[in-house]
Structure 1
Amino acid sequence: MKRREFIKNSSTAALAAAIPAMPSFSPLLRETRFGVAEASYLMRWYRNMESEKYPPFKLALDMIEHCAALGFGGVQVNVRGWDKKYANKVKRRVESDQLFLEGQISLPKDESDVDRFESQIRIATEAGIDIFRTVCLSGRRYENFDTMEAFEEFRKNSLIRLQLAEPLARKHKVKLAVENHKDFRIAGMMEVLKAMDSEWIGVTLDTGNNISLLEDPMEVVKALAPFAFSVHLKDMAVEEYGDGFLLSEVNLGEGILDIEGMIQEIRSKQPEARFNLEMITRDPLKIPCLTEKYWATFDKIPAVELAVFLKGIREQKSTKPLAIVTDKPTDKQLNLEVTNNRVSLEYAKKHLGFK
């Protein structure tokens, strides 16, 4: 597929240069196993879809065993509800299958939640976890907030929560990887990293999320790669609709992203970064960038930038309608989720240099 570039942000390089990067490591330490993020099994975890053939995941080991059998080399999974006995059981399983394991954890909500956070960190390290993916916002900026004031309050609270978490990450010598989760644009994420200025606070670099914030995904990768502890590798497809555009994860190699170039960029800056597939099987997301509400939390962006970005969407739009998932019977939806993950895994091993 011919690759085209999204609009570039000329301030990115200067802003990134102002922040000390994470230390780089020898290419000999490059991780070539290909993992999978919990969200790749969104239906099995969170949709309460009953099926005898594809039973819901209720425990971390359910997903670990499934993904190991499928051929993944690592798993990123939530650590809530674990005790030491369960953590040791998980450790034995991942060591047996020679998997890497990353945790997924919620930041402390406030000081009263610090003990919960530290307890989850402490127990998860018993399973050998040393990288924890987290987010500042569990939703989407343009859906969660109606005013700039509300978004600014979220921004301030995010820093407070990270400041509560950082001493504990440092204490337990674990890396806290904050995902660019449809909340901060490049400049905002850089401000967070600069404010924290900690070797224990980095990024889960999602290769597609910032398209929803009208940013060039390769520019996002270039800016955040020096801070990447972990990666959510995904490919994306787009399509126009009345209020903006539709955005869908698609199997690796079937979308508009320069996946090979992104991997090369990340590895050149952080050879130790781990890669996890995040292929979310769902209906297309609506990015309503032509509505007033969408712009409520953004500083002014020149009209020409929006025009060029939307021109790029039009030029790169999918040649076939983006897939609708929820119109299918339950077992077909669940089968599609497994199939998409398997197809992307096979592509990663055949074309992207993963084992």
Structure 2
Amino acid sequence: MKRRQFLQSTAMGFGALSLPEFPKGAASNRMGIVVHSYASRWNSKVESAKYPGFQNAVDLLEHCHQIGAGGMQVVVKDWSVDFAKKVRDRREKLGLYVEGSIGVPKKAEDVPAFENEVKNAREAGAQILRTVCSGGRRYEIFHSEQAFLDFKKSALVSLQLAEPILRKYKVKLAVENHKDWQANDLVAALKQLNSEWIGATLDFGNNIALMEDSAHVVQALAPYMFSTHIKDMAVEEYPDGFLLSEVPLGKGILDLPKLVGICQKHNPDITFSLEMITRDPLEIPCLKPDYWATFEDVSGREFAQALQMIRKNKSASPLPRVAQLRPEERLAIEESNIIESLKYSKEKLGLH
């Protein structure tokens, strides 16, 4: 059965220069924090004595140390040399890791600015920089197969522009599966680039939004990963498809010990960085035809398996919603979710 036929037949019934090594057994084996986990608190303007906003990477680094995290992955845009040295000095004193988050050049004129960001990130001690190739979710920003093919072509151009700079400074660039690349697509792109300096940021949960099984995604991308976004996910149905939420580790549907084990098998020194975004559920409109505009190779069988997974794992309680809460309440829940996830990582995943 073709995917479109299956969609029509099920829609009514579905009402889913090398740097020093970090000390072994220290921060390298503790779960760190992705800056997006603090979506409310990062650069927050809310006056809060208990949850003051983080104004820069040093603030976040200090907080990671206070809560027992192993390091951080943070945006490096607009860093000065002096600020990079401040990050480096504090990182070294606290014994934490730092990974950067960076944009890639879209054209040749963007390369000098990219080089400056790479240089400053390296000065701070970042050996790995995470990036994304699209500014949004595949099913929301691309509305034809050709549009997605154009995206893939431009993404390769950007990464090819970045590669000589990465090689020059001996810094690795990790492309996230950011609800844009299916696992096999990203693997194919990395193989085509064929560079030791360009790999993947392996996000554990994003590709559920693309109807892909997380175990398959981790198996496919683990050989190419330089960094990770570890998270847990919960799902429930809604009329146009399913809702998808990050939830504290151990509260969702992912087999985290298995997925972490796969990663450690491929790279025993890989860092695990928590991306626990406290927000309302995302709508995945997989029962609307426009969702499938770029997925012509998905079979009815694959679609059926994805829907079965959503139904089987439907959350027993309503997915978390925070948009209606007061800012202080959102800050409190955000911090609680992160602390709970760190506790799980130490007790159940051995990341301590």
TM-score normalised by L of structure 2: 0.90
Q: In structure 2, how many angstroms separate the alpha carbons of the residues matched to 1:198 and 1:229?
A: 13
Is the CA contact 1:205–1:225 (under 8 Å) kept in the aligned structure 2?
Answer: yes
Q: Which amino acid aligns with 1:196?
A: L
1:154 lines up with 2:136 in the alignment: no
Counting matched residue pairs gives 329
Is the CA contact 2:232–2:246 (under 8 Å) kept in the aligned structure 1?
Answer: yes
Query: Which of 57, 62, 66 is the aligned partner of 2:63?
Result: 66
1:203 lines up with 2:205 in the alignment: no
Return the offset for 1:208.
Answer: 0.4
Change (3 A) 1:30 1:97: closer
Which residue in 1 is equivalent to 2:259?
A: 262
Q: In structure 2, how many angstroms separate the alpha carbons of the residues matched to 1:53 and 1:345?
A: 19
1:216 lines up with 2:213 in the alignment: yes
Return 5+ residue gaps in structure 2 as ranges. 1-23
Which residue in 2 is equivalent to 1:320?
A: 317
Q: In structure 2, how many angstroms separate the alpha carbons of the residues matched to 1:341 and 1:209?
A: 18
Q: SS state of the match for residue 294, structure 1?
A: helix
Map 1:269-308 to 2 at 5 A: 269-308=266-305
Q: In structure 2, how many angstroms separate the alpha carbons of the residues matched to 1:191 and 1:148?
A: 17
1:230 lines up with 2:210 in the alignment: no
Q: Which amino acid aligns with 2:176?
A: E
Q: Which amino acid aligns with 2:139?
A: Y
Q: In structure 2, how many angstroms separate the alpha carbons of the residues matched to 1:246 and 1:40?
A: 19
Change (3 A) 1:46 1:92: closer
Q: Which amino acid aligns with 2:42?
A: W
1:35 lines up with 2:32 in the alignment: yes
Return 5+ residue gaps in structure 1 as ranges. 1-26
**Deviates most, 53-62 or 240-249:** 53-62
Is the CA contact 1:107–1:134 (under 8 Å) kept in the aligned structure 2?
Answer: yes
Return the offset for 1:238.
Answer: 0.5
Q: SS state of the match for residue 165, structure 1?
A: helix
Q: In structure 2, how many angstroms separate the alpha carbons of the residues matched to 1:305 and 1:191?
A: 20
Q: Which amino acid aligns with 2:233?
A: M
Query: Which of 108, 113, 116 is the aligned partner of 1:116?
Result: 113
Return the offset for 1:50.
Answer: 5.1
Q: SS state of the match for residue 321, structure 1?
A: coil
Is the CA contact 1:29–1:271 (under 8 Å) kept in the aligned structure 2?
Answer: no
Which residue in 1 is equivalent to 2:52?
A: 55
The one-character-per-residue Cα deviations of 1:13-44 (angstroms, maximum 9, x if unpaired) are xxxxxxxxxxxxxx999931211111101112
Q: In structure 2, how many angstroms separate the alpha carbons of the residues matched to 1:305 and 1:275?
A: 29
Which residue in 1 is equivalent to 2:73?
A: 76
Q: In structure 2, how many angstroms separate the alpha carbons of the residues matched to 1:47 and 1:247?
A: 25
Map 1:325-344 to 2 at 5 A: 325-344=322-341
Query: Which of 341, 345, 348 is the aligned partner of 2:342?
Result: 345
For the aligned residues, what is the CA RMSD?
A: 1.7
Of all paired residues, the percent bearing the same amino acid is 50
Return the offset for 1:52.
Answer: 4.6
Which residue in 1 is equivalent to 2:123?
A: 126
Return the offset for 1:46.
Answer: 6.3
Q: In structure 2, how many angstroms separate the alpha carbons of the residues matched to 1:294 and 1:191?
A: 23
Query: Which of 182, 185, 190 is the aligned partner of 2:182?
Result: 185
Q: In structure 2, how many angstroms separate the alpha carbons of the residues matched to 1:29 and 1:43?
A: 29
Q: In structure 1, how many angstroms separate the alpha carbons of the residues matched to 2:25 and 2:67?
A: 27
